[in-house]
């Protein structure tokens, strides 16, 4: 039990004193970058899905 309490105390100390947390401005800019990248990737996947759907429809229409 003492080892567990010591572990929790060390974790807390590390999170408070050793971790460099981003500022609010950095956090906002990172969130915007991630949101834009997610939208672009979703658009690319959607376009690939539609193009393969069209390609397969045309392929099956021939045969």
pLDDT at 39: 98
Position 34 scores a pLDDT of 98
Q: Give CA–CA dist 2/59, Å, rounded.
A: 68
Cα-Cα end-to-end distance for the chain = 70
Q: Which of 13, 16, 32, 12 is nearest to 24 (CA)?
A: 32
Other Cβ atoms within 10 Å of 53 Cβ, number = 10
pLDDT tens-digit map of 10-51: 999 999 999 999 999 999 999 999 999 999 999 999 999 999
pLDDT the model gives residue 63: 84
At residue 54, the pLDDT reads 97
Q: Across residues 2-14, what is the average pLDDT?
A: 95
Q: Is the pTM of the predicted complex or chain greater than 0.95?
A: no
């Amino acid at each position: 039990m003492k080892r567990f309490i010591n572990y929790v105390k060390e974790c807390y100390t590390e999170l408070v004193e050793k971790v460099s947390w981003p500022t609010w401005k950095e956090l906002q800019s990172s969130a915007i970058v991630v949101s834009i990248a997610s939208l672009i990737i979703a658009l690319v996947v959607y376009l690939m899905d539609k193009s393969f759907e069209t390609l397969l429809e045309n392929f099956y229409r021939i045969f």
